[in-house]
């Protein structure tokens, strides 16, 4: 038996940097350092654990859609232990929204061949958290998403989804699309050996024509949504800061009472 | 007047507050038509009518509880086809966003998630979002299909607006995908007796400075004196001091209460992403340089173990 896992990852601007919009109201990617979205590291980690716990022959492919620099995200995943990588890159992809991204991912996943797709719970820039559900809808396979625990055995994926009202145990037959949360287990750091090995692992590049996608279906013009304005949030006006000299709690209560919270 | 579909989040017929907020927003765009699914669906009608629903489409089947997400997408798709609405509004829960996304794809429509405000516009509803850890505010529009928009809790007031609320049965045929992901077990969360974190008017949170699970009792005591929900920073959750369901921040809940009280929380970007849109922000931290103080309306530089109990006592005394 073999198990083909495709892990979708995103290259995002560093959240600790000064993130902002470009003139066309897309996310500016030039002025802020990028990296593998932290939440996708959990997806790579779970793929590696499934592989380590499996008697099957498991092959892990990391897939990203993004500009040239997005290769950095693939390289990081490869250095963690993934086997190979696919980079979908095309100038016409600039400005693609979630619906368009799911089209590109689904076509690439089908072309690569898969039994299991694993994604992070959301990207750290867009934070929508909808792409795994969209990819499942497009592929027509079960969505087993937002898992804090995941396991694969005999062609069945099982996991625990911690929702607001209840914690649910889920089960689906492969092929399936899984997403994992940051509660699924800390992601490993690449070892020196892993970093060296990653340099020799294959990274394939595909463009839209490789995936039979027309330029009009994606990009800013193909988007189903349009950002009309983006405004930097005004800095909060400086508040009152007091040093506790023994009455700090009472002073705070006085402030809250003045604001009618008490 | 155009109809606007509102997906009802309810537990056995008890409608959750964010759905009532959606009815307020829906009335700005058109006539709200609610869609309630699963056990107790018909019981939602009276409360929905009081808040502006002209119609309540209901359907109950075991599939809604037994399988993940897709049966609800099938039903909402049937409702869209029956009503041809001007927009579909869904509460921004994890499940709500997944339902909305699949619905949008099926109906050839765009999706906007986590709106914090919604207005009618000449070319369709305009949604306001808070992005990049609340450092930017954007306005966006769906430009193809029937706009599908998910809205965060606390984005609008709950308003009384009596309407007919006529209950109609929704005809639903489940798709082949509906039974793909089986729910084999469900453990309801134990109620803390406190308000729901995302819906609360006041949130009291603890972070690394709380320094131990046992010390969260003083955070809870402050919360209870104010009738508040309890939150925790990622540092506190990762340390195992408080449950992940209470985590405020990028990978936890995003909250926007009237008042947010951060105790022993430095204010890392990951945390700010989840609370920066709170109306009034207050912090207690012994480090005067903590970035959280850049956000506050009022801050106390001091040991939370001195300040917080004193604050709790003072609140209790004032409330008598």
* Domain-located, residue A71: yes
Chain A touched by B105 (CB under 8 Å): yes
Is B208 among the annotated ligand-binding positions?
yes
Burial class (CB in 10 A: 0-12, 13-18, 19+), B38: buried
Which of B11, B306, B21, B49 has its CA nearest to residue B161? B49
Which CATH number is A61's domain given? 3.40.50.620
Query: Does residue B105 carry a pLDDT above 80?
Result: yes
State residue A17's pLDDT score. 83
Range of the domain at B274: 202-319
* Domain-located, residue A15: yes
Q: What is the pLDDT of residues B132-164, one digit of tens each?
A: 888 899 999 999 999 999 999 999 999 999 999
- Do A248 and B132 count as a contact with CB atoms less than 8 A apart? no
Query: Does residue B95 carry a pLDDT above 90?
Result: yes
Question: How near does any CA of chain B get to the CA of A248, in Å?
Answer: 6
Which of B294, B301, B305, B288 has its CA nearest to residue B271? B294
Is B261 among the annotated ligand-binding positions?
no
**Residue of B70, B132, B300 with shortest CB distance to A248:** B300
**Which A residues, 27 through 86, put their C-beta within 8 Å of a C-beta on chain B?**
39
State residue A28's pLDDT score. 84
The number of C-alpha atoms within 13 Å of A56 and in the hemisphere containing its C-beta is 17
* Domain-located, residue A192: yes
State residue B126's pLDDT score. 97
Range of the domain at A217: 2-222
* Domain-located, residue A57: yes
Q: Please report residues of B whose CB lies closer than 8 A to that of A21.
A: 136
ipTM of the complex model = 0.94
State residue A16's pLDDT score. 81
**Residue of A133, A233, A242 with shortest CB distance to B98:** A133
Query: Does residue B31 carry a pLDDT above 90?
Result: yes
Residues B59 and B143 placed together within one structural domain of the fold: yes
State residue B190's pLDDT score. 81
Which of B33, B97, B95 has its CA nearest to residue B64? B95
**Which B residues, 108 through 127, put their C-beta within 8 Å of a C-beta on chain A?**
109-114, 126
Q: Please report residues of A whose CB lies closer than 8 A to that of B311.
A: 248-250, 252-253
Q: Please report residues of B whose CB lies closer than 8 A to that of A121.
A: 251
- Do A240 and B298 count as a contact with CB atoms less than 8 A apart? yes
Mean pLDDT throughout A74-81? 98
Mean pLDDT throughout A131-147? 98
Residues B19 and B164 placed together within one structural domain of the fold: yes
Residues B137 and B12 placed together within one structural domain of the fold: yes
- Do A239 and B281 count as a contact with CB atoms less than 8 A apart? yes
- Give Cα B150 to chain centroid, integer Å: 10
Helix or strand or coil: residue B284?
strand
Which CATH number is B221's domain given? 3.40.50.1220
* pLDDT band at residue A165 under the 50/70/90 scheme: confident
Q: What is the pLDDT of residues A55-69, one digit of tens each?
A: 889 999 999 999 999
Mean pLDDT throughout B23-38? 98
Q: How many folded domains does chain A comprise?
A: 1
Is B233 among the annotated ligand-binding positions?
yes
Q: How many folded domains does chain B comprise?
A: 2
Q: What is the pLDDT of residues B265-303, one digit of tens each?
A: 999 988 998 999 899 999 999 999 999 999 999 999 999
Structural contact between residues A4 and A47, judged by C-beta atoms closer than 8 angstroms: no
* Domain-located, residue A258: no
- Do A130 and B185 count as a contact with CB atoms less than 8 A apart? no
Q: Is the peptide bond before A175 cis (omega within 30 degrees of 0)?
A: yes
Residues B151 and B38 placed together within one structural domain of the fold: yes
Is B130 among the annotated ligand-binding positions?
no
Please tell me the distance from the alpha carbon of residue A61 to that of residue A112, in angstroms, as a whole number: 8
Mean pLDDT throughout A52-56? 92
Question: How near does any CA of chain B get to the CA of A233, in Å?
Answer: 5
* Domain-located, residue A84: yes
**Which B residues, 40 through 99, put their C-beta within 8 Å of a C-beta on chain A?**
68-70, 73, 93-95, 97-98
Residues B174 and B236 placed together within one structural domain of the fold: no
- What's chain A's Rg over C-alpha atoms? 22
Structural contact between residues A26 and A220, judged by C-beta atoms closer than 8 angstroms: yes
Helix or strand or coil: residue B265?
coil
DSSP string, B207-237: -GGG-SGGGHHHHHHHHHHHT-EEEE-HHHH
DSSP label at residue B257: -
- Do B300 and A133 count as a contact with CB atoms less than 8 A apart? no
Of B146, B179, B212, the domain-final residue: B179
E-strand stretches of chain A: 2-9, 11-13, 34-36, 57-65, 84-88, 116-120, 143-153, 156-162, 166-173, 176-180, 203-206, 225-232, 240-243
**Which B residues, 266 through 295, put their C-beta within 8 Å of a C-beta on chain A?**
269-270, 273, 276, 280-282, 284, 288, 293-295
State residue B117's pLDDT score. 96
Q: What is the pLDDT of residues A16-50, one digit of tens each?
A: 888 889 888 888 888 888 999 999 999 999 999 99
State residue A163's pLDDT score. 86
State residue A127's pLDDT score. 87
DSSP label at residue A160: E
State residue B191's pLDDT score. 81
Helical residues (DSSP H) of B67-166, grouped into ranges: 70-83, 94-106
Structural contact between residues B285 and B264, judged by C-beta atoms closer than 8 angstroms: yes
* Domain-located, residue A45: yes
Q: What is the pLDDT of residues A199-248, one digit of tens each?
A: 999 999 999 999 999 999 999 999 999 999 999 988 778 899 999 999 99
B304 backbone dihedrals φ, ψ, rounded to 5°: -60, -25
Residues B23 and B121 placed together within one structural domain of the fold: yes
The fraction of chain B above a pLDDT of 70, given in percent, is 100
* Domain-located, residue A260: no
Structural contact between residues A179 and A130, judged by C-beta atoms closer than 8 angstroms: no
The fraction of chain A above a pLDDT of 90, given in percent, is 85
Q: What is the pLDDT of residues B68-90, one digit of tens each?
A: 999 999 999 999 999 999 999 99
Residues B155 and B300 placed together within one structural domain of the fold: no
State residue A19's pLDDT score. 87
Distant-in-sequence, close-in-space partners of A152: CB < 8 Å, separation ≥ 6: A3, A50, A54, A116, A158, A174
Distant-in-sequence, close-in-space partners of B77: CB < 8 Å, separation ≥ 6: B103, B106, B107
Which of B63, B177, B188, B187 has its CA nearest to residue A144? B177
B178 backbone dihedrals φ, ψ, rounded to 5°: -55, -35
């Amino acid at each position: 038996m073999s198990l083909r896992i495709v892990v979708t990852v995103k290259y995002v601007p560093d959240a600790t940097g000064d993130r902002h919009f470009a003139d066309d109201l897309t996310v500016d990617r030039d002025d802020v350092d990028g990296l593998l979205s932290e939440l996708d590291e959990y997806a790579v980690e779970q793929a590696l654990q499934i592989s380590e716990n499996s008697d099957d022959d498991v092959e892990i492919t990391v897939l990203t859609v993004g500009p040239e620099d997005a290769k950095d995200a693939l390289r990081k995943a490869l250095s963690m232990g993934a086997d190979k990588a696919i980079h979908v890159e095309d100038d016409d992809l600039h400005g693609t929204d979630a619906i368009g991204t799911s089209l590109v991912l689904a076509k690439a996943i089908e072309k690569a061949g898969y039994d299991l797709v694993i994604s992070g719970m959301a990207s750290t820039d867009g934070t929508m958290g909808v792409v795994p559900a969209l990819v499942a809808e497009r592929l027509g396979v079960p969505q087993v998403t937002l898992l804090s625990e995941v396991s694969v055995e005999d062609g069945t994926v099982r996991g625990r989804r911690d929702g607001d009202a209840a914690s649910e145990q889920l089960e689906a037959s492969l092929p399936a699309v899984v997403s994992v949360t940051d509660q699924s287990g800390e992601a490993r750091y690449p070892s020196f050996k892993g970093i060296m090995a990653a340099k020799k692992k294959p990274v394939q590049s595909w463009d839209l024509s490789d995936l039979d996608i027309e330029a009009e279906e994606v990009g800013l013009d193909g988007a189903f949504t349009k950002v009309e304005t983006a405004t930097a949030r005004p800095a909060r006006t400086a508040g009152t800061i007091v040093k506790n000299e023994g009455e700090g709690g009472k002073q705070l209560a006085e402030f809250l009472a003045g604001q009618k919270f008490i | 007047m155009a109809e606007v579909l509102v997906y009802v989040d309810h537990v056995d017929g008890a409608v959750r507050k964010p759905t009532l907020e959606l009815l307020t927003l829906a009335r700005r765009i058109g006539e709200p038509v609610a869609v309630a699914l699963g056990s107790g669906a018909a019981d939602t009608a009276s409360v929905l009518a009081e808040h502006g629903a002209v119609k309540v489409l209901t359907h109950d089947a075991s599939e809604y509880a037994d399988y993940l997400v897709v049966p609800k997408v099938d039903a909402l798709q049937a409702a869209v086809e029956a009503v041809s609405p001007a927009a579909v509004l869904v509460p921004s829960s994890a499940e709500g966003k997944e339902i909305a996304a699949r619905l949008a794809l099926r109906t050839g429509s765009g999706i906007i998630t986590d709106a914090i405000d919604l207005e009618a516009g000449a070319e369709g509803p305009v949604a306001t979002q808070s992005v990049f850890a609340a450092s930017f505010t954007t306005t966006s529009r769906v430009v193809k299909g029937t706009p599908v928009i998910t809205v965060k809790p606390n984005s609008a007031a709950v308003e009384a607006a009596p309407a007919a609320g006529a209950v109609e049965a929704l005809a639903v045929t489940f798709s082949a995908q509906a039974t793909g992901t089986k729910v084999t077990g469900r453990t309801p969360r134990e109620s803390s007796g406190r308000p729901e974190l995302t819906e609360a008017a006041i949130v009291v949170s603890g972070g690394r400075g709380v320094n131990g699970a046992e010390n969260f009792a003083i955070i809870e005591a402050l919360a209870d004196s104010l009738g508040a929900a309890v939150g925790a920073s990622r540092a506190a959750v990762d340390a195992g001091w408080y449950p992940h369901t209470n985590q405020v921040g990028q990978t936890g809940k995003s909250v926007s209460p009237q008042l947010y009280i951060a105790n022993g929380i430095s204010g890392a970007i990951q945390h700010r992403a989840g609370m920066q849109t709170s109306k009034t922000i207050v912090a207690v931290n012994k480090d005067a340089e903590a970035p959280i103080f850049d956000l506050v309306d009022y801050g106390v530089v001091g040991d939370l173990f001195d300040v917080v109990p004193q604050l709790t006592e003072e609140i209790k005394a004032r409330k008598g």
